[in-house]
Amino acid sequence: MSADRDPSSELTRKQRRERAREERRAHEAALVRAAATRRRLRVAGGVTSVGITALAVVLVATGGGSGATVSEARSKAHLKLAPLASLGSLRAAGAPGPRGPEGVPIPAAQPAATTATIAHGQNVDGIQCSGSEQTLFHIHAHLTIFVDGVARQVPMGIGIPDAVSENTPEGPFVASGTCFYWLHTHAADGIIHIESPVERVFTLGDFFDEWGQPLGPDRVGSANGPVTAIYNGRRDKGDPRDIPLTAHAQIQLEVGRPLVAPAKIEFPNGL
């Protein structure tokens, strides 16, 4: 190792490579299970409703398949979507900020709320804090927050009690803590990691409950005012707590005015 290389950065890169290998192994194993499921269904003489659900679980967990899965369709059932044009004129989002350690821009802004309020090990909405990250059901969503037209960060370490961050060339990255809730953040880039031992519908309300911050039609964390929610480029007129954390969902919460056009990220490989 050269004298000017940061040992902590090297360690982080090794950990990220190992995590990528584990994700590939989990993906390959899930594809094998999916193929086995299809073979069993053919032997049974057709695809039953139970078989469809079982196959959907595997596809959601791996991000595979084309179009919406059964599970995703169910999780979106409570959304009340309307065209983005119904919001009228929107301000441009502006510069997204520098790319962080996950390859996603981090807003050059203040946090939307403190992390001193996060849950510290107790079950939250049926979500446990596990000793290690779970990957049976493993997807990611992105959350952007604006207050009165100004960006706010989604802090790192939500869902990771006693979070310990490591310095990387792209900024701090939370690599450890006392436990990992099934919904958590490693960096302040808005990426919500959904890593669960069970396939179920997780919502934005679950995430904010882990964060220990309020969320509703008139409140986002410490900010009060009318809340506008945007889900995958469309306005959601329902309760923001019900917004599902589906694979690669792009969610934007705005408190007050002016309203900002949806910010969109590109999910890097592995996320």
Is residue 67 assigned to a domain? yes
Is residue 38 assigned to a domain? yes
Q: Of 54, 71, 88, which residue is a domain's last?
A: 71
Which residue range(s) make up the domain with 187?
79-255
Same domain, residue pair 143 and 20? no
Cα–Cα distance measured from residue 213 to residue 220, given in angstroms and rounded to the nearest whole number: 8
Same domain, residue pair 171 and 226? yes
Is residue 131 assigned to a domain? yes
Supply the pLDDT for residue 78: 74
Supply the pLDDT for residue 17: 53
Strands 250-255 and 137-147: parallel
- pTM, 2 dp: 0.75
Question: pLDDT tens digits for the chain (271 residues)?
Answer: 444 444 444 445 556 556 655 654 554 444 444 444 333 333 333 333 333 333 333 333 334 333 445 556 666 767 999 999 999 999 999 899 999 999 999 999 999 999 999 999 999 999 999 999 998 999 999 999 999 999 999 999 999 999 999 999 999 999 999 999 999 999 999 999 999 999 999 999 999 999 999 999 999 999 999 999 999 999 999 999 999 999 999 999 999 999 999 999 999 998 9
Cα–Cα distance measured from residue 24 to residue 123, given in angstroms and rounded to the nearest whole number: 29
Supply the pLDDT for residue 64: 39
What angle do the packed helices 49-62 and 7-44 form, to 10 degrees?
A: 160
Q: Which of 164, 166, 185, 182 is nearest to 106 (CA)?
A: 185
Same domain, residue pair 24 and 156? no
Supply the pLDDT for residue 38: 37
Supply the pLDDT for residue 13: 53
Supply the pLDDT for residue 173: 98
Q: Of 71, 95, 126, which residue is a domain's last?
A: 71
Q: Which of 114, 84, 142, 118 is nearest to 223 (CA)?
A: 114
Is residue 1 assigned to a domain? no
Q: Of 22, 38, 71, which residue is a domain's last?
A: 71
